[in-house]
């Protein structure tokens, strides 16, 4: 409560009211005990005035009449009646309320809706439920007579004139106390007695009835108000709907026609008439009937629509044709409903589908053109909707994959065609999508492995778009580039052949050079030998001459030998450097140099290079030539392998005897056991285009490095070529030093 209330000043409860009735709910203890202000028992002891039944009856009849005629003022009438019958100074009602005015049985305070007599100015005031005279009456559930109740409830002090005595009677609704009626004497000119008690009890019952009647009236008022509001809304809606329908009809956006089931057209808008080339005058003649407008082949559909109308009151939109006035046809979409479920009249909307049909024909033509273009250009199309994972192929793509047109496209189906070594387009799309969070364009090449084991080369260009719903979709054009690819391969092969021929030619030039160098001393040898023979055959033999020519023959023989020795030095690079070589590093360099060639052959290279591999001593370039040779041989051995991934493993590892091993393992064609011994012979080859000197030279180089080169057949497909070399610590060991000296001697 407010400060001013606590200080005992009167506070108006209702600003609109002139009341100054205080309500002090915070004062929960009275100045005096309740018993000291109650004198109810005195009612029985006091001399009682005789009952005036006639007056009482008149009053009750008047009250009932007032309730019927003017229920809104019944409480005021009741208050005046109480004052009249009890001859008190003030009389009134207190009603429990929650919000200060509306009666409520669970209210926390009382308010005074009507007061007659001296307290009349205080109408609208009231007292708290938990600390006041009315609350005491409800708590004790009986009539109470108070004397100077302001002594206990100080907030009543300002309410003037003060109450000498106050008789309070509870009244009930459905067994619950909902308020009190009361009579007050402001002076002692008269005391309440047992007759007052009885009359008040009687009026209390009326108060209860009046209360219920008023509540009921209030409910009725609410119901009426709600119904009126609903009716107003319906009226408004109906008028709005009608207006909308009228606007729809008059807007001529769609054809609207009203008809009878028998075939008559009652009304049609301009759009409908224009669609069918009729005038309003034509319609007025009554000769334009929808049954006649329908071509024969569409009448079945009309009959089905009528059956639907009779069963459900509406017919679902359907496509049909109408005759125009000039006899041409117009494709339409129409749907409609009966005005009443069991009636015979209804309304339909009619949409002219001419444009749509033209567009559909154009689209079909465009699709056919696209399909033919795709067929001719061997380009298929592919779409993937990211959100739904829906994959769509063009017919051409089905043809390219040699799959039945229209079978559902799944990842499993795609995998049956994509080469096992390759990543399919859809998988690539998903990778790109995940990596880039969508929206990136890209190109992709992959192969198809067909059921007859033939290979097709595909080149796809994918483009990310968003559809009308904002959903991401990838569209790809997939071209069969097998022909181009085969041409490129043929070109590559021709280039390689050219390179081989060039090599052979340079080898021929080398051979010629060698022949020249050797033939010169050979020529001398033969000529000298011939001369020598002639000198010996002479008579007498020219011994000195023969000796001289024989000496020259020997000299030229040495010369020829020197030529051969020089050539060997040239081939084996006898001036090889002896440096520390990290075979891992050397291998990586070779891989870097050969990577494009390996990739071109679609070789899957796997490297297993040992950590902390000991170094070896030798000629780095020569050793790299060996590794390169082994890599190329392995790649060549897998050239024609198509049924398995072309896996090539290059491995470095420490091996027994303080050595380091480099192995190259392939899954190629391998070699037969009987070929094993010949593999390292010069000019022996298993390749169609090989010279047969690579492995021979390789072995020569490795043996020069005190190593060994060997070949083994794999348990699975392919073979493994490996060489091992003593590592640097071994070279530095006593035996190694000897070996090193031997190497040095050879190099000299």
Partner 1 sequence: MEGRQLISVIDDDESVRESLPDLLKECGFDAQAFSSAEEFLASDQISETKCLILDVAMPGLSGPDLQRKLTQRRQKIPIIFITAHRDETVRPRLIEQGAVECLFKPFSETDLLTALNSALRVI
| Of positions 157, 522, 621, 691, contacts partner 1 by CB under 8 A | 522
Q: At what angle do helices 194-251 and 74-86 cross, to 10 degrees?
A: 170
514 binds partner 1 (CB under 8 A): no
Q: How many CB atoms lie within 10 A of CB 455?
A: 13
Q: Which is nearer to partner 1, 486 or 526 (CB)?
A: 526
527 binds partner 1 (CB under 8 A): yes
416 binds partner 1 (CB under 8 A): no
Q: Cβ(126)–Cβ(17) under 8 Å? A: no
Please state, in angstroms and rounded to a whole number, the distance separating the CA atoms of residues 522 and 517. 9
Please state, in angstroms and rounded to a whole number, the distance separating the CA atoms of residues 533 and 529. 6
> Helix or strand or coil: residue 491?
helix
Q: Which is nearer to partner 1, 475 or 514 (CB)?
A: 514
Closest separation between CB of residue 540 and partner 1, Å?
A: 14
65 binds partner 1 (CB under 8 A): no
| Of positions 48, 260, 519, 572, contacts partner 1 by CB under 8 A | 519
Closest separation between CB of residue 567 and partner 1, Å?
A: 15
Q: Cβ(45)–Cβ(155) under 8 Å? A: no
543 binds partner 1 (CB under 8 A): no
The helix (H) or strand (E) run that includes residue 6 is helix 3-6
Please state, in angstroms and rounded to a whole number, the distance separating the CA atoms of residues 543 and 559. 24
Q: Which is nearer to partner 1, 546 or 598 (CB)?
A: 546
Q: Cβ(330)–Cβ(352) under 8 Å? A: yes
Q: Kindly state the number of chain residues that form the binding site for partner 1, as judged by CB under 8 A.
A: 25
Closest separation between CB of residue 526 and partner 1, Å?
A: 4
| Of positions 555, 574, 588, 639, contacts partner 1 by CB under 8 A | 555
Please state, in angstroms and rounded to a whole number, the distance separating the CA atoms of residues 520 and 556. 9
| Of positions 516, 606, 742, 746, contacts partner 1 by CB under 8 A | 516
Q: Which is nearer to partner 1, 234 or 526 (CB)?
A: 526
DSSP 103: B
Closest separation between CB of residue 556 and partner 1, Å?
A: 5
> Helix or strand or coil: residue 318?
strand
Q: How does DSSP assign 506-519, residue by residue?
A: HHHHHHHHHHHHHH
Instruction: Kindly indicate which of the ranges 150-158, 317-325, 462-470, 550-558 contains the residues binding partner 1, using the contact rule CB under 8 A.
Output: 550-558
Q: Which is nearer to partner 1, 9 or 534 (CB)?
A: 534
Q: Cβ(462)–Cβ(441) under 8 Å? A: yes
| Of positions 143, 374, 424, 549, contacts partner 1 by CB under 8 A | 549
Site string for partner 1, 463-502 (x = CB under 8 A): ----------------------------------------
Q: Cβ(320)–Cβ(308) under 8 Å? A: no
Instruction: Kindly indicate which of the ranges 21-29, 420-428, 524-532, 586-594 contains the residues binding partner 1, using the contact rule CB under 8 A.
Output: 524-532
| Of positions 145, 207, 257, 535, contacts partner 1 by CB under 8 A | 535
Residue 127 preceded by cis peptide, ω within 30: no
| Of positions 400, 525, 603, 628, contacts partner 1 by CB under 8 A | 525
563 binds partner 1 (CB under 8 A): no
Q: Which is nearer to partner 1, 236 or 537 (CB)?
A: 537
Q: Cβ(169)–Cβ(180) under 8 Å? A: yes
Q: Which residues pair with 92 in a beta bridge?
A: 115, 182
385 binds partner 1 (CB under 8 A): no
Instruction: Kindly indicate which of the ranges 140-148, 429-437, 520-528, 639-647 contains the residues binding partner 1, using the contact rule CB under 8 A.
Output: 520-528
515 binds partner 1 (CB under 8 A): yes
Tokens of 512: 């010629």
Q: Cβ(701)–Cβ(624) under 8 Å? A: no
Q: Which is nearer to partner 1, 370 or 522 (CB)?
A: 522
Instruction: Kindly indicate which of the ranges 258-266, 267-275, 508-516, 616-624 contains the residues binding partner 1, using the contact rule CB under 8 A.
Output: 508-516
Instruction: Kindly indicate which of the ranges 189-197, 232-240, 445-453, 521-529 contains the residues binding partner 1, using the contact rule CB under 8 A.
Output: 521-529
Query: In whole angstroms, how large is the CA radius of gyration of the chain?
Result: 60
The helix (H) or strand (E) run that includes residue 427 is helix 425-436
Q: Which is nearer to partner 1, 319 or 517 (CB)?
A: 517
Q: How does DSSP assign 364-426, residue by residue?
A: HHHHHHHHHHHHHHTEEEEEEETTTTEEEE-HHHHHHHT--TTPPP-HHHHHTTB-TTS--HH
| Of positions 530, 599, 607, 733, contacts partner 1 by CB under 8 A | 530
362 binds partner 1 (CB under 8 A): no
| Of positions 97, 528, 647, 724, contacts partner 1 by CB under 8 A | 528
521 binds partner 1 (CB under 8 A): yes
Closest separation between CB of residue 680 and partner 1, Å?
A: 30
Beta-sheet strands, E only, within 553-598: 579-581
Please state, in angstroms and rounded to a whole number, the distance separating the CA atoms of residues 417 and 456. 10
Please state, in angstroms and rounded to a whole number, the distance separating the CA atoms of residues 407 and 397. 12
Q: Which is nearer to partner 1, 66 or 546 (CB)?
A: 546
Instruction: Kindly indicate which of the ranges 187-195, 285-293, 396-404, 551-559 contains the residues binding partner 1, using the contact rule CB under 8 A.
Output: 551-559
554 binds partner 1 (CB under 8 A): no
> Helix or strand or coil: residue 620?
helix
545 binds partner 1 (CB under 8 A): yes
| Of positions 126, 128, 133, 524, contacts partner 1 by CB under 8 A | 524
Instruction: Kindly indicate which of the ranges 19-27, 382-390, 517-525, 664-672 contains the residues binding partner 1, using the contact rule CB under 8 A.
Output: 517-525
718 binds partner 1 (CB under 8 A): no
| Of positions 359, 450, 538, 564, contacts partner 1 by CB under 8 A | 538
Closest separation between CB of residue 524 and partner 1, Å?
A: 3
Q: Which is nearer to partner 1, 280 or 558 (CB)?
A: 558
Q: Which is nearer to partner 1, 307 or 538 (CB)?
A: 538
Q: Cβ(295)–Cβ(321) under 8 Å? A: yes
Beta-sheet strands, E only, within 174-254: 176-185
567 binds partner 1 (CB under 8 A): no
Tokens 């202000």 correspond to what residue? 37
Closest separation between CB of residue 522 and partner 1, Å?
A: 4
Q: At what angle do helices 482-537 and 543-572 cross, to 10 degrees?
A: 160
68 binds partner 1 (CB under 8 A): no
> Helix or strand or coil: residue 130?
coil
Q: Cβ(713)–Cβ(673) under 8 Å? A: yes
Residues with Cβ < 8 Å from 306, sequence gap 6 or more?
Answer: 261, 315
| Of positions 31, 450, 499, 526, contacts partner 1 by CB under 8 A | 526
Tokens 């030095």 correspond to what residue? 569
Give which of 653, 661, 668 is closest to 603, Cα–Cα. Answer: 668
Please state, in angstroms and rounded to a whole number, the distance separating the CA atoms of residues 314 and 345. 11
Residues lying near partner 1 in the complex (CB under 8 A) are found at 512, 515-517, 519-528, 530-531, 534-535, 538, 545, 549, 552, 555-556, 559
């Amino acid at each position: 409560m407010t400060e001013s209330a606590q200080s005992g000043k009167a506070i108006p409860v209702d600003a609109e009211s002139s009341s100054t009735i205080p309500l002090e709910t915070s004062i929960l203890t009275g100045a005096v005990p309740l018993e000291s202000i109650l004198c109810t028992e005195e009612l029985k002891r006091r001399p009682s005035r005789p009952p005036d039944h006639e007056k009482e009856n008149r009053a009750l009849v008047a009250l009932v009449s007032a309730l019927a005629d003017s229920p809104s003022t019944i409480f005021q009438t009741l208050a005046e009646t109480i004052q009249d019958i009890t001859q008190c100074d003030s009389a009134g009602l207190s009603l429990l309320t929650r919000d200060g005015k509306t009666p409520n049985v669970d209210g926390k305070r009382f308010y005074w809706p009507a007061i007659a007599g001296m307290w009349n100015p205080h109408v609208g005031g009231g007292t708290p439920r938990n600390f006041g005279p009315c609350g005491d009456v409800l708590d004790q559930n009986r009539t109470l007579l108070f004397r100077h109740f302001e002594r206990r409830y100080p907030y009543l002090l300002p309410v003037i004139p003060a109450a000498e005595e106050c008789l309070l009677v509870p009244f009930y609704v459905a067994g619950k106390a909902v308020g009190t009626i009361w009579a007050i004497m402001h002076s002692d000119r008269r005391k309440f007695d047992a007759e007052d008690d009885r009359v008040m009890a009687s009026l209390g019952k009326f108060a209860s009835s009046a209360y219920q009647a008023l509540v009921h009236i209030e409910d009725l008022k609410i119901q009426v108000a709600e119904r009126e509001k609903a009716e107003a809304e319906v009226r408004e809606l109906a008028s709005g709907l009608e207006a909308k329908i009228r606007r729809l009809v008059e807007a001529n956006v769609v054809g609207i026609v009203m008809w009878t089931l028998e075939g008559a057209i009652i009304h049609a808008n301009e759009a409908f008439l224009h669609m069918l080339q009729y005038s309003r005058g034509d319609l007025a003649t009554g000769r334009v009937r929808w049954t006649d407008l329908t071509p024969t082949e569409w009448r079945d559909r009309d009959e089905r629509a009528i059956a639907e109308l009779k069963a459900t009151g509406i017919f679902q939109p359907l496509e049909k044709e109408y005759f125009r006035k000039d006899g041409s046809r117009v494709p339409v979409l129409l749907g409609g409903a009966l005005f009443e479920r069991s009636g015979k009249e209804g309304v339909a909307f009619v949409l002219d589908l001419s444009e749509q049909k033209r567009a559909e024909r154009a689209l079909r033509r465009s699709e056919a053109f696209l399909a033919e273009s795709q067929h001719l250009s061997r380009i298929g199309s592919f779409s993937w909707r990211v959100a739904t994972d829906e994959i769509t192929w063009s017919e051409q793509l089905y043809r390219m994959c040699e799959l039945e047109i229209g079978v559902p496209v799944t990842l499993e189906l795609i995998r049956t065609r994509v080469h096992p070594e390759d990543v399919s387009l859809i998988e690539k799309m998903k990778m790109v999508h995940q990596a880039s969070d969508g929206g990136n364009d890209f190109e992709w090449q992959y192969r198809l492995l067909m059921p007859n084991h033939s290979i097709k080369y595909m080149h796809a260009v994918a483009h990310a778009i968003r559809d009308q719903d904002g959903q991401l979709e990838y569209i790809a054009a997939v071209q069969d580039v097998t022909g181009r690819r085969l041409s490129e391969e043929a070109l590559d092969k021709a280039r390689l052949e050219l390179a081989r021929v060039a090599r052979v030619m340079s080898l021929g030039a080398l051979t010629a050079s060698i022949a020249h160098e050797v033939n010169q001393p050979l020529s001398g040898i033969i000529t000298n030998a011939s001369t020598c023979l002639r000198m010996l055959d002479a008579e007498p033999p020219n011994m000195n001459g023969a000796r001289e020519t024989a000496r020259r023959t020997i000299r030229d023989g040495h010369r020829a030998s020197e030529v051969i020795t020089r050539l060997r030095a040239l081939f084996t690079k006898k001036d090889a450097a002896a440096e520390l070589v990290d075979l891992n590093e050397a291998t990586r360099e070779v891989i870097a140099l050969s990577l494009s060639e390996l990739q071109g052959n679609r070789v899957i290279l796997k490297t297993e290079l040992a950590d902390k591999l000991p170094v070896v001593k030798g000629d780095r370039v020569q050793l790299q030539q060996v590794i390169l040779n082994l890599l190329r041989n392995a790649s060549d051995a897998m050239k024609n392998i198509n049924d398995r991934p072309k896996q090539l493993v290059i491995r470095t590892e420490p091996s027994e005897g303080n050595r380091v091993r480099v192995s190259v393992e392939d899954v190629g064609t391998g070699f037969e056991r009987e070929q094993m011994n010949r593999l390292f012979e010069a000019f022996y080859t298993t390749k169609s285009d090989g010279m047969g000197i690579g492995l021979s030279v390789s072995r020569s180089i490795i043996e020069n490095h005190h190593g060994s080169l060997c070949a083994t057949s794999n348990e699975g497909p392919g073979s493994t070529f490996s060489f091992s070399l003593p590592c640097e610590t071994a070279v530095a060991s006593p035996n190694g030093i000897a070996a090193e000296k031997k190497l040095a001697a050879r190099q000299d």
